[in-house]
């Protein structure tokens, strides 16, 4: 394995917004993060798991088997207390299998329209799995917040315009990418994995 290729990590996602966040969070490590759609023949993984952990592992193992490269995958859910933890594992398809970000947000706001502000608590939970064919590692990041009554902000993606972070006084969509990627659920999970990844690729370079 060449020195350059030993620094390649595949992110098992075809979502360009998610890939951009992962790349920014892992910037400065010297690791080249490539998306699943940058490789020919990688199958689209059906998220059939009943939990975030199951879906993340399914995506990571499938993409690793296809590329032969160390792979990370994440699955993220928005858990709204007033909806008994929904949409959870179905967050990306809350309004239907091919729902847009806006359609998911509107469905969420409709379901919460009669819920008072103090009961609109929610959290983003992100599970990230790393696999390389010999080992797997699972980490999790959680960011608490609450759901607003209408979208605010132009940045971010998904439910970011209605997910309000009290200690910051703004939604994810009102934050710069740099600010969000320091405090988000995905950032918290990947920070736990960062040291392992750096060590992993350093050892690969010396093999």
Residue 17 annotated as catalytic: no
Q: What is the CA radius of gyration of the chain?
A: 17
Tokens standing for residue 149: 């009554």
For tokens 């509107």, what's the residue?
Answer: 106
Phi first, then psi, for residue 40 (nearest 5°) are -75, 145
On the CB side of 72, how many CA atoms lie within 13 Å of its CA? 29
What span, in angstroms and rounded, lies between the C-alpha atoms of 167 and 117?
A: 16
Q: Which of 100, 81, 79 is nearest to 90 (CA)?
A: 79
The dihedral formed by the CA atoms of 104, 106, 112 and 118, expressed in degrees to the nearest 10? 90
Longest dimension (CA), the chain: 60
**Which one of the listed residues 75, 114, 132, 195 is annotated catalytic?**
75
What span, in angstroms and rounded, lies between the C-alpha atoms of 28 and 98?
A: 35
Hey, which residues are catalytic here?
Answer: 75
């Amino acid at each position: 394995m060449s020195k350059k290729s030993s620094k390649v990590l595949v992110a098992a996602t075809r979502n360009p917004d998610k890939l951009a966040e992962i790349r920014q969070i892992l910037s400065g490590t010297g690791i080249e993060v490539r998306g699943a759609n940058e490789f020919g023949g990688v199958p689209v993984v059906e998220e059939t798991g009943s939990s975030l952990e199951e879906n993340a592992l399914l995506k990571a193992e499938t993409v690793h088997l296809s590329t032969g490269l160390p792979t990370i995958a994440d699955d993220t859910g928005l858990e709204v207390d007033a909806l008994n933890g929904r949409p959870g594992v179905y967050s990306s398809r809350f309004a239907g299998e091919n729902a847009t970000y806006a359609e998911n947000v509107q469905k969420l706001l409709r379901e919460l329209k009669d819920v008072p502000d103090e009961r609109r608590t929610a959290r983003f939970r992100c599970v990230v799995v790393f696999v390389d064919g010999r080992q797997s590692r699972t980490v999790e990041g959680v960011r608490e917040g609450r759901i607003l009554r209408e979208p605010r902000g132009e940045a971010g993606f998904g439910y970011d315009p209605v997910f309000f972070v009290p200690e910051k006084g703004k939604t994810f969509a009102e934050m710069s990418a740099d600010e969000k990627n320091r405090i988000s659920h995905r950032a918290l999970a990947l920070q736990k994995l960062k040291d392992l990844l750096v060590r992993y690729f350093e050892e690969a370079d010396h093999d």
